[in-house]
């Protein structure tokens, strides 16, 4: 119940895009999608499957949770790539500044005035 209340609270904070297209499109073929719907509509006979019927309301929660985790991983990869690029740019800047300092020193040594 607590998770469902939290999901309702989070719904208010979703962007318009998330409300309209909350999940990625399915990668299942039409036949596979129909098979999945048929299996979901059957009444389960196994105890575990019957217990899972109690948690069907959490399916949307887990979809959102997994989507958030995927986005988090993508952002971590982007952050790592940007940190690597930033380090490279810092090294280039240090090389440039070292070259400018050497050039000024050489000019002072060459200039008798």
Q: What is the pLDDT along the chain (113 residues), one digit of tens a residue?
A: 887 788 788 777 777 666 666 566 666 778 887 887 787 777 777 787 777 777 767 777 777 788 889 889 999 999 999 999 999 999 999 999 888 877 777 767 766 55
Give the model's pLDDT for residue 93: 94
Residues in the chain: 113
Q: What is the CA radius of gyration of the chain?
A: 29
Long-range Cβ pairs for the range 53-56 (8 Å, 24+)? none
Distance CA 16, CA 11 (A): 10
- Taking residue 110's Cβ as centre, other Cβ atoms within 10 Å add up to 7
Phi, psi torsion values for 103, nearest 5 degrees: -65, -40
pTM of the model as a whole: 0.51
């Amino acid at each position: 119940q607590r998770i469902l209340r939290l999901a309702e609270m989070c719904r208010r904070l979703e962007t318009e895009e998330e409300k309209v297209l909350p999940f990625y499109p399915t990668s299942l073929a039409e036949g596979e999608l129909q098979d999945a719907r048929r299996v979901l509509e059957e009444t389960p006979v196994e105890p575990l499957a019957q217990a899972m019927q109690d948690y069907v309301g959490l399916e949307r929660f887990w979809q959102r949770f997994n989507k958030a985790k995927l986005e988090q991983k993508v952002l971590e990869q982007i952050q790592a790539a940007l940190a690597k690029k930033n380090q490279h740019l810092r090294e280039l800047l240090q090389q440039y500044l070292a070259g400018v300092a050497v050039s000024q020193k050489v000019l002072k040594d060459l200039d008798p005035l």
